[in-house]
Amino acid sequence: MSTEELTIDELARSTGVTVRNIRAHQSRGLLPPPEVRARTGYYGPEHVARLELIRELQAEGFNLNAIGRLLEHGREVLGFTRSVLSPFADEEPEHLDRRELEERLGSEAVARAEALGLVVALGDDRWEVPSPSLLRAGEEVVALGVSVDRALTVLEEINRSSQAVAEAFVRLFREEVLRPLEQGGDTPEHWAQAAAAVERLRPLASEALLAGFQQVMTREVERAFGEEMARRRG
């Protein structure tokens, strides 16, 4: 037997999916049937890949019915789905225990940082920092003499502003890119174009946001500096 051929028990051990669930996926049509020889079913790399894909989609919140519909539409829809669901940044999260987190934020700020999504509780006094660079930026602000409470207030305002910008970009993408593509029909080309548009949106959104912020920040600093100089002269 080839090392790429697995019995159902071996497939279960290899993928971490129970035999019962493997059979359930087969009955739903989510997993292709095995090659049967001498009344024994053998599974190959394509079955391992399919089980991994199903697990990934489940982790993203898709139920098995939705996964079935995605699989029916083919790899173009799956490619679009993965493009949409993949994070817009490739920053690796950081993990801290409670002592480390309290040393960096202070014990009183942990709950508020969690409410803002700056840190995520994992249990057993372990925490994940989804964006270490954002946390470091907050620490640098505190190092300038700003209180932790005020720094978190600024981060909260940044989150609100970022939410509004993200909603504007998503609305623009849906109305001006996705819906016109639908006029061509639900075809593989349609989904491939949509996936390509999502990938192009990633750097464009970041570049536009940064460029706009830099211009606004320049004007705001000039205005504030002018007010400070006028106050000092007065």
Q: What is the largest CA-CA distance in the chain?
A: 96
Distance CA 86, CA 202 (A): 11
Fold held by 8-73: Multidrug-efflux Transporter Regulator; Chain: A; Domain 2 (1.10.1660)
Q: Could you read off the pLDDT of 84-95 as tens digits, one per residue?
A: 766 676 788 899
Q: What is the per-residue pLDDT across 52-105, written as a single tens digit (0 to 9) for each?
A: 889 888 887 788 988 887 787 666 667 777 677 666 767 888 999 999 999 998
Q: Which tokens belong to 180? A: 């016109």
- Supply the mean pLDDT for the chain: 87
3-state secondary structure at position 164: helix
H-helix or E-strand spanning residue 36: strand 35-37
Cβ–Cβ < 8 Å for 88, 202 = yes
Domain boundaries, given as residue ranges, for the chain: 8-73
Q: What's the predicted TM-score (pTM) here?
A: 0.58
